[in-house]
Structure 1
Amino acid sequence: MVMKKLINDPENIVKELMKGLVKAHIDVLELIDDDTIVRRKKKEKGKVQIVFGQGAGHEPAFNGMVGFGMHDVEIPGGIFSCSGGDRIYEGIKIAWEDSGHTPVVLLIANHEGDVINGNIALDMAHDDGIDVEPVLLYDDIASAPKGDEENRRGMAAMTFAFKISGALAEEGKSRDEIIEKTKSIVSASRTLAVALNPCTHPATGQLLFTLGEDELVIGPGVHGEAGPEGPIKMTTADAVMDIVAGRVITDGDFKSGDDALVLINGSGATTLMEMFILYNRLEEILKSKNIKPYKPLIADIITTQEMAGFSLSMAKADAEVKRLWDAPVNTPYFKVFGD
């Protein structure tokens, strides 16, 4: 398959992407040294800073989540590759200095490179006297079995952690409280993805994996990693959602009467038509089990280029989680302005 993408020099994809994003959202974002995105309107002094570093290629995540109520600083890496530890350290330092030396929370997606580089950045920051602590984000039930949750990959349910941590920081909560409640939503989060077609790496034109024309795969990763199971024959939206929702509900121990945050996340090439058909079936499944979705989100949030497919993310939601999910946020691609 020949790659068709509207790009220029593959070496400049990330820089040109960042410049275009910031120019389009100049009221919300600011670009520092051509490689770090920060919120233009800073938090009040004394409020905890939220920092995240991840690979590009997942737009609108993760640069599109910088702003009021979410991230203060985002350090993009290359396409599907984490930022280097030294660059993440520089992002932490920017947050620390912008806030007048307020504590920083570094969110780390649970992928090998992200963890390695995040730990390098933490060591450098601690050596420099910066008060920063991490929270590891994980939710992909396909990547490790139940009981081994902390070895699962970070997937679309990271959105829940971004929203909860950002809302708490905006309210002026302490760093320890933000970490505690963010870890709580992470431990409650579950995601399972489906791919119908693979994506190409925009810098190389190479397919990330292959599928037959009449096949789909359950459990692919956010970087285009093939699922741990072999492909199955293409089937209906309802049949796919029956499989995915059943596994997510079982793994997350969702019970009758539970409220749940729900995200159907498009992988990049999936239409809203398809996602709403999927949600129609999901709502029927949840209703039959007396599980109540709270203000579900159906959108492309964390994509994998032109991969066709979706993921289902759910997390149990008590009154506090629902309040924080509703809290105001103003980023380029995640906005809540209240009732």
Structure 2
Amino acid sequence: MGRVKDYIIEAAPSAWPDLRTLHLVTRDESTKLQSLFLLLKALGTIFRHRREILLVHVNIGDKGSAARKSVVTLFSRLLRLPTVLHLHAVELEQMPGPALALLGFVFRSATAVVVLGERYRRWVIDRLGVKPERAKILWNGVPVATPPHRLHANGTKPLDILFLGSLGQRKGTHDLLAALAQLPADVPDWRMTFAGPGDIAMFEAKAADLGIADRCRFTGWLDQAGSREVTATSDIMVLPSYHEGLPLVILEALGLGTPVVTTPVGVIPEVLTDGQDVLFCQPGDVSALAGRIAALLREPALRQSLSDNGLALYHRRFSLQSFSASLSDIWQASLPAGAQRSVGGQVA
């Protein structure tokens, strides 16, 4: 969610040249008391600038984020500011009834609700009572320097496989290790990089138990530049998650020409097509996952096809330019009629 927020700030000026953004933070890595102070500070900033603010864009996630951003949304609407509520959470569907009812009140109060795809659009309409005309789909976009063409061919070096994300059950890290151990001996030579935070010692021990420790390396957390570099130099990305929205790491892989194996969860199957721009396997199906990875290792033509089609899809739908244009349309539609022709001012 934090990265999407950064892309919103980066994308907005390209569409609205006279716009200024107020970046409001409601939580940091310190205590809950400090987070409360940051929330109150954000509310104070909105109140002080209420006459200058054109629109408030609220990014809402799971758990504590949902509580804090609900307060921001209701406060902004109390001040009669147009408010766009941008849903990034993937676990709010499991909220108990009373909490869901309160969340529905918050979502219905927003001027517009932005979601990742049709699945979540139907959820906010059917479960939270948002009016259909207020529920908007905005596909994530990412800024990457895409290669004009990336050539995939078998060479003398091992093929590089990448997992990029937090190590753990939700992302399918255990399944990926088990699948790697099942790869046939006759596939081309390969090596595996796990890039992300988590219990690295435990997963290193698991790789050793499976007899693949010499092929696996665990880098820990990488910053954005490091993530882009490791994605651009990998031959395959694998993300066998159980729960996702629309992961930015997949979109970046498409834009960098890196073939992807993933699971059809969240809104991923709404925008990606099995065998055309990605390979799918069901969450937890270790044998199928091993088969998909083996196919990509063996077939450079398949890697090339996924790479070329993924690049084309990225340019059509997931570039920052596409994201910026769609975001601009949503913002403009959320403004009062008299303000829609003037975009000077501030967005919080």
Tell me the TM-score normalized by structure 2.
Answer: 0.33
- The structure with the largest alpha-carbon Rg is 2
Question: Greater strand percent: which structure?
Answer: 1
Of structures 1 and 2, the one scoring higher in RCO (CA 8 A, sep 6+) is 2
Tell me the TM-score normalized by structure 1.
Answer: 0.33
Question: Greater helix percent: which structure?
Answer: 2
